[in-house]
Every structure is written in C-alpha cells, then in structure tokens.
C-alpha cells in the first residue's frame, strides 16, 4: 500500500524532460571523455615528437663524444678523468688498499653434483667458485697493474716502449710471481 | 529547457549549438543498435553507444557522434555532422562537418560547404569537396 502511494506521488517525467536530462548527462559524460582522450593523444604526440627524439639524439651525441674522447686522449686518461670527476662530484672514495679479506686463498669446495641446492656456492657447483676466484684475481691483477704502471712511469719516463712491454708482461703474470 | 550549457561553448563551432540541442534521438552509452536509422524530417540524433548501420537524413538533420560513440559499417548523411567518437564508414555532410580532436574517422568524407578538423583528430580516408571550386575563388 505504501509503495502504491509512493509511485502515485512521484511525478513521471515527460518526454521532453527525459530527453533533456538524457542529453545533459550525455553531454557531461562526453566532455570528460573527450578531454581525457585529447590529453592522451597530446601526451602520445609529445612523447613521440619531442621526448624520444631528444633522448635518442642525446644518446647518440654522448656515444660519439665518448668515442672521440677515448680516441684522442686514450682510454686510461678518460677513465682516470671520469673517476676524478666522480670523486669530485659525488665524493666517492677510490679504493686504495688491496681487498685482502677476499677469500682467495680459501680452498675451493668442489661439489660433486651440479645442482645441489644446499648452499649458494654449491648451487652451481664448481663454476661459481671458480668465477668468484677469477674475478677476485682480476681485481688483484688490476691493482698490480696500476702500481706497476706508476712505478714504471716513475722509473723510466723516456723509454715508453720498453715500459709498455713490461707492463703488458706484468699484467699477465699471476700475483706473487717474480719477473 | 535548454540543457546544454551554452556559456561553456566559447569556441566557434561549425555545427550550430541549436542544432546540437535539437537532438531528438539518443543511443545511450553502452547500448548497441543494429540497423539503419532513416528520416525524411529535419531531426537530430546523438550516438553515445554503438551503432552498426547507417544514418541518413534526407532533408536537414544533425548527427552528433559523442566521444563514447562508435558507428561502423555505415554511411552517415545529414546537413550537420559533429563527430567526437569513432566512425568506420563514409561521412556525407551537406552543410557543415566538424571533427573534434577526440574523433577517429576511418572512411571517406564528402562535404558540400564547410569542414573543420580539430588538432589531434585521426582520419584515414579520402576527403572530397562536392561544391564548385571555381565559384569560390
């Protein structure tokens, strides 16, 4: 009974009112959708027309500039300059001591089965332990090479060809080997 | 009762506001209508949903494809056509045609008098002017 009274008191919309309301709702909805779509298209256009070409051009420019620097000044000077710049700009300390605490002399634990997942070293077996040792040896050799480069420069400043040969030999020598 | 807020429409439109306000038929958003819409009277239709078929007004007529509207496999023909949504098919506007920046039209366009294509509108098709080119110059 209550529902019947409610339906009777609620006035039905005329066709004109219904049409007007429907069009008004459609208009409001349409404006927001249209704005969003135009904004999306603008962003897409801006990205493809400006941002990506700028990033691409800068990348190419930087690559060309880096190659030119390496070509004209040599890789050692460029790397040294870059390291100096990093130190000045970000305050990164260059490592001065040998990383003796790297477990180089630790005996390698050879696992018999590849894929035994008890520990991380044993996970990939021999190759992992060897790669750790090799990378550590590379670090040591690099330090040795730097020190010997400095020594050779200080000892023989004029004889560049012989020092270069010595340095090349010293790089190949393992740690602790006498020349 | 004029439900369109005419004060917000500051930009000049080729399709007059009174024509856009005189919409008599509406395919609402989410609705799908299959078939041809045809009238000999000067009426108006707005499509916010999906219409698969043609719309032809032989005399006068205004067609408004809303931003959510999609009309495909069709030829739409009227005096005034305002496209904000997506149309796949041919468009024939006898008086003025306006394509907004949110619109996508895949098909040929034929118009007799006026055309306005907003920036960032996407069109793929041929545009033909049916009027007399010599008389306008």
Asked if B7 has any chain A CB less than 8 Å from its own CB, the reply is no
Q: Of chain B residues 45-64, which have a CB less than 8 A from chain A? A: 46, 48
Chain A residue numbers with beta carbons less than 8 Å from the beta carbon of B100 are: 34, 38
State the CB neighbour count (10 A cutoff) for residue B129. 13
Chain B residue numbers with beta carbons less than 8 Å from the beta carbon of A34 are: 67, 84, 100-102
pLDDT for position A150: 76
Contact yes or no for B29 and A19 at CB 8 A: no
Structure tokens at A87: 């130190």
Q: Is the pLDDT at A10 greater than 90, yes or no?
A: no
pLDDT for position A3: 56
DSSP conformation letters of A37-62: HHHHHHHHHHIIIIIHHHHHHHHHHH
Least confident of A1-5, A148-152, B20-24, B83-87: A1-5
**pLDDT band of A117, cuts 50, 70, 90:** very low
Q: Is the pLDDT at A81 greater than 70, yes or no?
A: yes
Look at residues B132, B91, B96, B135 and name the one whose alpha carbon lies nearest to residue B115.
B96
**pLDDT band of A166, cuts 50, 70, 90:** very low
Asked if A20 has any chain B CB less than 8 Å from its own CB, the reply is yes
**Cβ neighbours of residue A109 under 8 Å, at least 6 residues apart?**
A121, A122, A129
pLDDT for position B13: 83
Long-range contact pairs involving A86-95 (C-beta distance under 8 Å, separation at least 24): none
Surface-to-core class of residue A151, CB atoms within 10 Å of its CB (0-12 exposed, 13-18 middle, 19+ buried): middle
Q: Is the ipTM of this complex over 0.85?
A: no
pLDDT for position A44: 95
Q: How far is CA A106 from CA A101, A126, A128, A133, B6, in A?
A: 10, 14, 14, 9, 84
Q: Is the pLDDT at A99 greater than 70, yes or no?
A: no
Least confident of A39-53, A140-154, B23-37: A140-154
User: What is the nearest CA distance from A15 to chain B, expressed in angstroms?
Assistant: 10
What is the Cβ-side half-sphere exposure of residue B30, based on CA atoms within 13 angstroms?
A: 2
**Average pLDDT of every residue of chain A:** 71
Contact yes or no for A26 and B84 at CB 8 A: no
Q: How far is CA B78 from CA A72, B74, B90, B102, in A?
A: 71, 13, 12, 21
Calpha distance B87→A61 (Å, rounded): 44
Ranges of residues in chain B whose predicted pLDDT is under 70: 1-11, 136-137
Structure tokens at B13: 């439109």
Asked if B73 has any chain A CB less than 8 Å from its own CB, the reply is no
**pLDDT band of A55, cuts 50, 70, 90:** very high
pLDDT in tens, A16-30: 888 888 888 898 899
pLDDT for position A57: 97
Q: What is the CA radius of gyration of chain A?
A: 36
Tell me which of B27 and A103 has the higher pLDDT.
B27
User: What is the nearest CA distance from A4 to chain B, expressed in angstroms?
Assistant: 30
CB B44, CB B76: distance < 8 Å:
no
Calpha distance B6→B13 (Å, rounded): 12
pLDDT in tens, B39-73: 999 999 999 999 999 999 999 999 999 999 999 98
Surface-to-core class of residue A127, CB atoms within 10 Å of its CB (0-12 exposed, 13-18 middle, 19+ buried): exposed
Which of B26, B29, B67 minimises the CB distance to A37? B67
């Amino acid at each position: 009974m209550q529902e019947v009274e409610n339906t009777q008191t609620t006035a039905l919309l005329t066709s004109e009112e219904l049409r007007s309301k429907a069009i008004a709702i459609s208009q409001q909805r349409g404006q927001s959708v249209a704005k969003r779509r135009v904004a999306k298209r603008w962003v897409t256009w801006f990205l493809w027309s400006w941002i990506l070409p700028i990033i691409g051009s800068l990348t190419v420019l930087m690559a060309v500039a880096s190659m030119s620097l390496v070509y004209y000044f040599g890789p050692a000077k460029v790397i040294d300059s870059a390291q100096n710049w990093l130190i000045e700009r970000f305050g990164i300390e260059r490592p001065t001591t040998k990383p003796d605490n790297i477990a180089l002399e630790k005996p390698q634990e050879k696992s018999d089965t590849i894929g035994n997942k008890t520990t991380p070293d044993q996970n990939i077996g021999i190759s992992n332990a060897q790669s750790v040792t090799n990378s550590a040896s590379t670090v040591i050799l690099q330090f040795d090479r730097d020190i010997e480069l400095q020594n050779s420069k200080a000892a023989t400043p004029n004889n560049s060809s012989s020092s270069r040969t010595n340095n090349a030999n010293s790089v190949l020598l393992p740690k602790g080997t006498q020349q | 009762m004029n439900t369109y807020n005419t004060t917000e429409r500051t930009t000049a439109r080729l399709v007059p506001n009174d024509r856009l306000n005189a919409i008599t038929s509406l395919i609402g958003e989410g609705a799908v209508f299959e078939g041809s819409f045809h009238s000999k009277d000067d009426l108006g239709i707005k499509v916010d949903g999906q219409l698969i078929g043609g719309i032809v007004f032989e005399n006068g007529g205004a067609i408004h494809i809303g931003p959510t509207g999609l009309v495909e496999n069709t030829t739409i023909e009227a005096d005034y056509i305002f496209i904000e949504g997506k149309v796949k098919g041919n468009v024939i506007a006898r008086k003025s045609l306006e394509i907004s920046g949110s619109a996508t039209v895949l098909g040929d366009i034929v118009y007799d008098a006026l055309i306005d294509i907003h920036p960032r509108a996407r069109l793929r098709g041929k545009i033909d002017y049916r009027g007399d080119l010599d008389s306008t110059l």
